[in-house]
Amino acid sequence: MESILPLLSSALIPIIQSILTKENVQLYGDRLFDLAEDVIKDSRTKWDDAALLPIIIQFRQTLDIPDLPDVAETV
């Protein structure tokens, strides 16, 4: 098994690098944050809107993930 690890590592690193492009991270990060925002906004309580939405906005800014228009909105 130990002899296979370097081979797997050398084969997987280019694949992972091709997936983890800035564009993909921003796209899927945006979708993840959009989902979290929808769940928070649909909550019956309003405290989470006031407490959690600003945290999501801060995460977006820190991770440089813009709030992209939804695909349905652009069609």
Residue 3 is given by DSSP the state: T
Instruction: Say if 10 falls within a structural domain.
Output: no
Instruction: Say if 11 falls within a structural domain.
Output: no
Instruction: Burial-class residue 72 by CB neighbours within 10 Å (0-12, 13-18, 19+).
Output: exposed
As for how many domains the chain has, the answer is 1
Instruction: Say if 61 falls within a structural domain.
Output: yes
Q: What's the domain range around 66?
A: 20-74
Instruction: For the chain, state the CA radius of gyration.
Output: 18
Instruction: Say if 33 falls within a structural domain.
Output: yes
Instruction: Give the model confidence (pLDDT) of 26-73 as tens digits.
Output: 999 999 999 999 888 888 888 888 888 999 999 999 989 989 887 656
What pTM was estimated for this model as a whole? 0.62
pLDDT for the residue numbered 72: 58
Instruction: Give the model confidence (pLDDT) of 7-29 as tens digits.
Output: 778 888 888 888 889 899 899 99
Instruction: Say if 9 falls within a structural domain.
Output: no
